[in-house]
């Protein structure tokens, strides 16, 4: 499910809004981002409901300011099986960096295997492909 939140009083073109709704199922709503606590609560409630409580606290009130004009949210929860399974006993708690200075402890999965890998200089990014099993229902 997709949703677009705009700053109250900030308008988007009607054609853009209808395109979002028609092709992406994205409803548009307005929030007062200067009320960051309430806005974050509204966005997080949408994400929690859409993902059946699998994703919580996606947006922090600190992410929103009076200068925020638009927040586009894509809430999806995919439950699949890895083609190469992670072993639960190899899961360890480690630092996950939210940005250059903030970090939190999270459970990290670990596996040693050959996977497609790429370094994309233009994006200053590294990527790895972790394939899922194909299942038919």
Report the chain's mean pLDDT, rounded to a whole number.
90
CB 82 within 8 A of CB 132: yes
Q: Convert the pLDDT of each residue in 54-65 to its tens digit.
A: 888 999 999 999
Q: Convert the pLDDT of each residue in 60-106 to its tens digit.
A: 999 999 999 999 998 777 778 889 889 999 999 999 988 888 899 99
Q: Region 103-116: what's the mean pLDDT?
A: 92
Does domain 2-74 fall into CATH 1.10.3470.10? no
Domain definitions of the chain by residue range: 2-74, 88-128
Q: What is the pTM of this model?
A: 0.63
């Amino acid at each position: 499910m997709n949703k677009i939140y705009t700053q109250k009083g900030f308008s988007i073109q009607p054609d853009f809004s209808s395109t979002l709704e028609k092709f992406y199922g994205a409803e548009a709503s307005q929030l007062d981002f200067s009320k960051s606590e309430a806005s974050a609560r509204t966005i997080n409630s949408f994400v929690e409901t859409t993902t059946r409580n699998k994703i919580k606290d996606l947006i922090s009130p600190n992410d929103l300011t009076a200068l925020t004009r638009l927040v586009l949210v894509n809430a999806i929860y995919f439950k699949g099986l890895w083609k190469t399974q992670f072993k639960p006993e190899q899961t360890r708690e480690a630092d996950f960096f939210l940005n250059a200075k903030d970090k939190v402890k999270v459970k990290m999965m670990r596996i040693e295997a050959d996977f497609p890998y790429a370094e994309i200089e233009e994006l200053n990014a590294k990527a790895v492909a972790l394939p899922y099993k194909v299942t038919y229902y």
